[in-house]
Chain A
Amino acid sequence: MFFIQLRDLFKSYGPVRALDGLNLKVPKGSLYGLLGPNGAGKSTAIRIICTLLAPDSGHVEVGGRDVLLEEKEIRQRLGYVAQDVAIDKILTGRELLQLQGDLYHLDSKYKRKRIDELIQRLDMHEWIDRRSGSFSGGMKRRLDLASGLLHEPELLILDEPTVGLDIESRSVIWELLKELRKKETTILLSSHYLEEVDELADEMAIIDKGKVIASGKPNDMKKGLGGDRVTLRVREFSDEAEAESVRKLIRNINGVSNVVVNQKQGYSLNFLVKSNDVISNLSSHLSKENFEVFALSHSRPSLDDVYLQATGKTLMDAELELAGKRDFKLENKKSMR
């Protein structure tokens, strides 16, 4: 059963198309990761699910209800932790949580109990009664997470929850998310950190230019790449001709695919192997042509490889490319109401 279903979502800001026919299905009780560079459309999709933004066209369903028709019902059921933490600097952390509790109409006794629970769980008791203007990024994020969880939502939505955070805050947040997942809370998380999605997500989607271009379980997606990644050198610094002849040789070995010569790394060879047996037999194949193994590294495919396969570039390259094109004025404007 799917808790969130997005069908054919389109959204433009003037000439900029933020969502270009986005489709997404998030299973109930799962932790779902949206991976993509900044500016890919993750935040826009999340704002639409949170009822902050209406799509130009498309269908949005949360918990079996149409978000565009039953906004209030949806708001009661979801907790939202925004990308730019919006905290009133003048209020103390506890006052903010109290305000949040009143906005969700919690009964005062229950509100107090719940606030105490979350302060303890997120380890905030030392500073919660200070004015939040003095909080670090990690403290604000934890406070924001607590306010998102105050009313025990069925669905928790986090937009880039650990961007720029200290390690302690990050691990506190990760632990809490893992615990929530065990309790069957559906969690939707956007991130441009590969390891975050890899560590946390049951399922994930890669978003690029406002569309989902690949989705599935992170492990399946890594396996789907066709095997482990191997980097081979037959000499410390080969030349092009040597690398090319090695490439021709190993290309024909059963179980080897996607052989490329990496010119930037001293003409080393990168390829995928189906199983470890292929690697053990590699040196005997090479010695037939008087090559030897100078260095060999072997790694499980990472999400970065998945991303590379899906988009044709690494996530970091995509970030850099988009960084120059971003219109921060426009982005700020679209987040304002």
Chain B
Amino acid sequence: MITTNPSIPKEKQSRNDLNQMLQEISALTWRLFIQLIRRPSTLLAGILQPLIWLLLFAALFSNAPIDFLPGSSSYGEFLGAGLIVFTAFSGALNAGLPVMFDREFGFLNRLLVAPLSSRSSIIISSVIYITTISLLQSFAIMATSALLGYGWPSLGGFLLIAITLLLLVFAITGLSLGLAFVLPGHIELIAIIFIVNLPVLFASTALAPISFMPEWLGWIASINPLTFAIEPIRMAYHNSVDLNLILINAPYGDVNGYSCLAILFILTIGLFFLIRPLLNRKLA
């Protein structure tokens, strides 16, 4: 009954390389989603945390003179764009954790012993998974902020938001996966996530415009990737979508919508090329 053949007859295997790769990617992605469905707490926490921010922070500054906030009718409305981006950013920053646990528990060895048609499948499945849940979380924030009366973007605005978030999520996911293969264990990865998360939020235009900040912080905020994602989304909420508009009055000059997206795109590609040799070495 138990038999071993010199090699598995061809008809018992998936046909070509592409099919094989799709088979392994979908199986690996499915595994991550089963984990999510059976352990939904991280997903829920990822939605709840920014929601609490939205409620508390918006309430905290509800009496602030809104004339200071360019184009916004309330602080909650100003804050919404920042929190949408922050949610996606936090979600993507956690991308490395499942991979790190697979390394630590030896599950990765199971994958590495298997004749995967490409080891990129391991990375691609993580990216698909993290992108999906980050976007889900961000859309939950958008829906809530709409319910709170902070508005909803037009269709074009929605598309712009989706593209912006995708670029940011790809970049940060790549970074986190890279860290997951470099750091010795999950403690270190979590420590980095903790250290990076909030300061990056504060040093962006999520909570306040650059004009509020001292010059040094203004500099940091205007090179912070989060800012380049927040401002196009803020525009999508307030104005008609026009990427020629100046979105950031940075100390080094004005930045328009196209430049924001271009910078995010370059960041994503740059991180990809930076991390690729590292992953190749670790997964070779």
Kindly provide the distance from the CB of A135 to the nearest chain B CB, expressed in whole angstroms.
Answer: 14
A52 within 8 A of B: yes
A5 / chain B contacts, CB cutoff of 8 Å:
none
Cα of A337 to Cα of B282 in the assembled complex, Å: 6
B34 within 8 A of A: yes
A147 / chain B contacts, CB cutoff of 8 Å:
110
B116 / chain A contacts, CB cutoff of 8 Å:
103
The interface bits of chain B over 104-117 (1 if a CB of A lies within 8 angstroms of the residue's CB, else 0) are: 11111111111111
B44 within 8 A of A: no
Q: Which of A90, A117, A154 contacts B1 (CB 8 A)?
A: A117
A window 65-106: CB within 8 A of B: 72-73, 75-78, 80, 82, 84, 86-88, 90-91, 95, 98-100, 102-106
A window 106-134: CB within 8 A of B: 106-107, 110, 117-118, 121, 131
Kindly provide the distance from the CB of A322 to the nearest chain B CB, expressed in whole angstroms.
Answer: 22
B111 / chain A contacts, CB cutoff of 8 Å:
103
A51 / chain B contacts, CB cutoff of 8 Å:
112-113
List the one stretch of A18-26, A175-183, A273-281, A288-296 in contact with chain B.
Answer: A175-183
Question: Which residue of chain A lies nearest to B107 when distances are taken between CB atoms in the complex?
Answer: A86
Question: Which residue of chain A lies nearest to B282 when distances are taken between CB atoms in the complex?
Answer: A337
B window 1-34: CB within 8 A of A: 1-8, 11-14, 19-20, 23-24, 26-28, 30-31, 34
Cα of A98 to Cα of B27 in the assembled complex, Å: 8
B39–A90 CB distance below 8 A: yes
Q: Which of B1, B6, B7, B8 contacts A121 (CB 8 A)?
A: B1
Q: Which of A95, A106, A154, A176 contacts B12 (CB 8 A)?
A: A106
Question: Which residue of chain A lies nearest to B111 when distances are taken between CB atoms in the complex?
Answer: A103
The interface bits of chain A over 190-232 (1 if a CB of B lies within 8 angstroms of the residue's CB, else 0) are: 0000000000000000000000000000000000000000000
B24–A88 CB distance below 8 A: no
B113 / chain A contacts, CB cutoff of 8 Å:
50-52, 75, 78, 80
A84 / chain B contacts, CB cutoff of 8 Å:
106
Cα of A78 to Cα of B23 in the assembled complex, Å: 20
Cα of A82 to Cα of B4 in the assembled complex, Å: 20
Interface residues on A, range: 35 or more
Kindly provide the distance from the CB of B66 to the nearest chain A CB, expressed in whole angstroms.
Answer: 47
Given known contacts A90-B35, A90-B38, A337-B282, A76 and B7 CB-to-CB distance under 8 angstroms: yes
A102–B109 CB distance below 8 A: no
A185 within 8 A of B: yes
B110 / chain A contacts, CB cutoff of 8 Å:
82, 86, 100, 103, 147
Q: Which of B1, B24, B106 contacts A103 (CB 8 A)?
A: B24
B184–A333 CB distance below 8 A: yes
Cα of A95 to Cα of B24 in the assembled complex, Å: 14
A77–B7 CB distance below 8 A: yes
A76–B115 CB distance below 8 A: yes
Given known contacts A80-B113, A88-B107, A105 and B2 CB-to-CB distance under 8 angstroms: no
Q: Which of A88, A99, A103, A337 contacts B109 (CB 8 A)?
A: A337
B108–A337 CB distance below 8 A: yes
B103–A337 CB distance below 8 A: yes
Q: Which of B4, B20, B106, B114 contacts A184 (CB 8 A)?
A: B4
Q: Which of A103, A110, A183, A333 contacts B3 (CB 8 A)?
A: A183
Kindly provide the distance from the CB of B13 to the nearest chain A CB, expressed in whole angstroms.
Answer: 5
B13 / chain A contacts, CB cutoff of 8 Å:
105-107
Cα of A185 to Cα of B2 in the assembled complex, Å: 11
The interface bits of chain B over 31-66 (1 if a CB of A lies within 8 angstroms of the residue's CB, else 0) are: 100110011000000000000000000000000000
Cα of A50 to Cα of B106 in the assembled complex, Å: 14
Question: Which residue of chain B lies nearest to A176 when distances are taken between CB atoms in the complex?
Answer: B2
A336 / chain B contacts, CB cutoff of 8 Å:
103-104, 106, 108
A104 / chain B contacts, CB cutoff of 8 Å:
114-115
Q: Which of A50, A73, A91, A337 contacts B31 (CB 8 A)?
A: A91
A154 / chain B contacts, CB cutoff of 8 Å:
4-7
Cα of A110 to Cα of B15 in the assembled complex, Å: 13
The interface bits of chain A over 246-257 (1 if a CB of B lies within 8 angstroms of the residue's CB, else 0) are: 000000000000
A305 within 8 A of B: no
Question: Which residue of chain B lies nearest to A118 when distances are taken between CB atoms in the complex?
Answer: B2
Cα of A103 to Cα of B113 in the assembled complex, Å: 10
Question: Which residue of chain B lies nearest to A149 when distances are taken between CB atoms in the complex?
Answer: B2
Cα of A105 to Cα of B19 in the assembled complex, Å: 9
A121 / chain B contacts, CB cutoff of 8 Å:
1-2
The interface bits of chain B over 79-120 (1 if a CB of A lies within 8 angstroms of the residue's CB, else 0) are: 000000000000000000000000111111111111111000
Question: Which residue of chain B lies nearest to A83 when distances are taken between CB atoms in the complex?
Answer: B106
B1 / chain A contacts, CB cutoff of 8 Å:
117, 121
Q: Which of B5, B19, B26, B35 contacts A88 (CB 8 A)?
A: B35
Kindly provide the distance from the CB of B195 to the nearest chain A CB, expressed in whole angstroms.
Answer: 23
Q: Which of B7, B12, B31, B39 contacts A99 (CB 8 A)?
A: B31
Cα of A180 to Cα of B5 in the assembled complex, Å: 11
Kindly provide the distance from the CB of B270 to the nearest chain A CB, expressed in whole angstroms.
Answer: 25
For this complex, 14 residue pairs linking A to B, each with C-beta atoms less than 8 Å apart, are A50-B113, A76-B7, A82-B110, A86-B105, A102-B23, A103-B115, A103-B116, A104-B114, A105-B24, A106-B12, A121-B2, A149-B4, A154-B5, A337-B109
Interface residues, chain B, CB within 8 Å of chain A?
1-8, 11-14, 19-20, 23-24, 26-28, 30-31, 34-35, 38-39, 103-117, 181, 184, 282-283
> Could you list 8 further interchain pairs (A-B, Cβ under 8 angstroms) beyond the known A78-B113, A91-B34?
A100-B114, A103-B116, A152-B5, A154-B7, A183-B3, A335-B106, A337-B181, A337-B282
Interface pairs A-B: 4 shortest CB-CB = A102-B27, A86-B106, A75-B115, A103-B114
